[in-house]
Amino acid sequence: MPFTANRDYKASPRIVASAKGMYYYDQQGRGILDGTAGLWCVPAGHSHPKIVEAVQQAIATLDYAPAFQMGHPAAFEFAEQLIEYTGHKFGQVFYTNSGSEAVDTAMKMVLAYHRARGEAQRTRFIGRERAYHGVGFGGMSVGGLPANRKQFGPLLQGVDYLRHTALPENRFSKGLPEHGAELADDLERLIQLHDVSTIAAVIVEPVSGSAGVILPPAGYLQRLRQLCDQHGILLIFDEVITGFGRLTTPFASDYFGVTPDLMTTAKGLTNGVVPMGAVFSHPKIYQTLTDSPAGIEFFHGYTYSGHPLACAAGLATLQVFKEEGILHHAAGMASYWESALHSLKGLPHVTDIRNLGLIGAIELETVPGKPGARAMAVYKKAFAEGVLIRTTGDIIALSPPLILDKSHIDVLFAKLHDILSHPESF
């Protein structure tokens, strides 16, 4: 069981057997309201008929095409539509099978780019404390979650970290937190320390999810972009959770008006239906690599890169987004979501609440000596009572499908209100 305490799980297993729209269903047919869009990956709702049909058609037409010296039409069509969806802020797409692979791919692209430009000494990555960039060795190394690293030794060398932006003075902020843009100046400190000529790229999640929904202070990402430009450092946005509408814009880069050099995505890319990730890159990266004399410009790929089923699911997802105005709908729900979430302020053990787009976080006071136990107890109780939430440490993270309406918001927060009002039960 991934990221799961197997012994504990065996004692009280949770099984979902089917899903539709805003709901999972267990083996007895009991509905469970999905407050997390699976793992942030089902923005258009579960088992969407158009996506199901597209995948069924694809599997009957082309089951697999070698991602090696050949392509297939849907892979190119999808890439073109994706670039269009970014408003042509990026030039190329490289397919992977997951967010972790997208992160490692982007990191390799960065190294290849600097080498092709004659700056092979630029190998250092700057990550951030409390960041999550997946479980590949690259992503784990630039990630900043102690629990994800401690079992595995020293990891990639030459990585340093910005401080995280979870500041106590921003507690109970609504939308973007006010304080802390100056934390981006940490990059100056690291440049001084390591010499800029060794630094390849900075990687950040515009909004971090798995680490407990840490929001960027207003102006922070803009400042980071400025500093990277000033020093010839590439900027990677890991948009695995923020891509495809989570902030009610196509990407977080649209929301913040800050365009990175590379962007990693996954999850909502195919509405979670078929595993897929993708790296979006600025044309200068493709150009530099293709201008270099190497026979194969970027010696990297996966057997299942651009898998026909994933491309079909992705194309159908984009179509559903456009036809059903999913982002417009999500934008219309955001303020109702914010008010409902913040109505939990003042309940026992609630130490912080924060939100952005259709993301919410409720932070609970940790039981001394038992980190994560309180939130996990709430999670189990909520699941037993028909609502799926997610925990990370003692933070409850919420990220519903973007198709939810006010009645779903009411049910979700009424249930949480009820559970949190009875602290003796968790």
Among 36, 92, 98, 281, binds ligand PMP (CB under 6 A): 98
Query: Residue 241 interacts with ligand PMP (CB under 6 A)?
Result: yes
Among 36, 86, 92, 100, binds ligand PMP (CB under 6 A): 100
Smaller CB separation from ligand PMP, 213 or 420: 213
Among 33, 103, 273, 285, binds ligand PMP (CB under 6 A): 103
Among 34, 205, 254, 394, binds ligand PMP (CB under 6 A): 205
Smaller CB separation from ligand PMP, 99 or 217: 99
Contact stretch for ligand PMP (CB under 6 A) within 20-28, 177-185, 237-245, 361-369: 237-245
Cα dist from 363 to 44, 185, 305, 357, 395, whole Å: 27, 27, 38, 18, 4
Contact stretch for ligand PMP (CB under 6 A) within 29-37, 105-113, 127-135, 229-237: 127-135
Give the pairing type, strands 31-34 and 23-25: antiparallel
Query: Residue 248 interacts with ligand PMP (CB under 6 A)?
Result: no
Query: Residue 269 interacts with ligand PMP (CB under 6 A)?
Result: no
Closest distance to ligand PMP from the beta carbon of 207 (Å):
9
Closest distance to ligand PMP from the beta carbon of 29 (Å):
29
Total residues binding ligand PMP (CB under 6 A): 14
Closest distance to ligand PMP from the beta carbon of 14 (Å):
19
Q: In what order do the strands lie in the sheet with 199-204?
A: 92-96, 277-281, 262-265, 234-238, 199-204, 124-128, 159-162
How far apart (Å, rounded) are the C-alpha atoms in residues 256 and 158? 29
Q: Which of 414, 388, 415 is nearest to 26 (CA)?
A: 388
Q: Which of 53, 46, 56 is nearest to 18 (CA)?
A: 46
Closest distance to ligand PMP from the beta carbon of 311 (Å):
17
Distance of alpha carbon 149 from the chain centroid: 19
DSSP, res 21: B
CA angle, 207 then 388 then 401, to 5°: 55
Query: Residue 173 interacts with ligand PMP (CB under 6 A)?
Result: no
Site string for ligand PMP, 130-169 (x = CB under 6 A): --xxx-----------------------------------
Q: Which of 99, 110, 186 is nearest to 140 (CA)?
A: 99
Query: Residue 210 interacts with ligand PMP (CB under 6 A)?
Result: yes
Q: Which of 33, 130, 48, 132 is nearest to 398 (CA)?
A: 33
170 φ, ψ (degrees, to nearest 5): -95, 10
DSSP 125-177: EEEETT----SSHHHHHH---HHHHTTSTT-SSSEEEEPP---GGGTT--SS-
- Scan residues 288-307 and list those touching ligand PMP (CB under 6 A): none
Contact stretch for ligand PMP (CB under 6 A) within 105-113, 126-134, 189-197, 401-409: 126-134
Using Cβ positions, the residue closest to ligand PMP within the complex turns out to be: 99
Site string for ligand PMP, 20-49 (x = CB under 6 A): ------------------------------
275 and 97 Cβ atoms separated by less than 8 Å: yes
Contact stretch for ligand PMP (CB under 6 A) within 50-58, 97-105, 151-159, 394-402: 97-105
Residue 294 identity = A
Give the pairing type, strands 234-238 and 262-265: parallel
Smaller CB separation from ligand PMP, 134 or 308: 134
Among 22, 201, 203, 266, binds ligand PMP (CB under 6 A): 266
Give residues in contact with ligand PMP (CB under 6 A): 98-100, 103, 132-134, 205, 209-210, 238, 240-241, 266
